[in-house]
């Protein structure tokens, strides 16, 4: 599929920007676009008659790994902090 040089005004569906529009230059159907660090998959693109512009729609595509990675990092940090607190509590005070 040929990548367009025109701007594509994309209507966003789902996710935190549901119902809002974004401009993606050179987007094609099926491509992934980033909107404020959120991923949207372009599903449809149509020409605007008489203009060098296109309109389209994009559907929110959550990143399953990013949430789990953040949770794993938080859990690991909590375990390290708990171990450090337990070690500090069991240490004999020096006089």
Tell me if 52 sits within 8 A of 37, measured CB to CB.
no
For position 7, what pLDDT does the model report? 84
pLDDT bin (cut points 50, 70, 90) of residue 44 is very high
For position 70, what pLDDT does the model report? 59
Q: How far is CA 92 from CA 80, 82, 83, 88, in A?
A: 20, 18, 16, 9
pLDDT bin (cut points 50, 70, 90) of residue 66 is low
Rounded average pLDDT over 32-49: 91
For position 94, what pLDDT does the model report? 64
Domain range summary for the chain, segments of one domain joined by +: 7-64
């Amino acid at each position: 599929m040929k990548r367009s040089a025109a701007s594509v005004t994309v209507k966003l569906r789902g996710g935190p920007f549901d119902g809002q529009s974004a401009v993606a230059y050179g987007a094609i159907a099926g491509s992934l676009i980033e909107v404020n660090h959120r991923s949207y998959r372009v599903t449809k693109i149509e020409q605007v008659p008489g203009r060098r512009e296109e309109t389209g729609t994009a559907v929110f595509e959550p990143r399953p790994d990013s949430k789990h990675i953040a949770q794993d990092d938080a859990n690991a940090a909590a375990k390290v902090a708990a171990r450090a607190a337990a070690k500090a509590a069991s240490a004999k005070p020096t006089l």
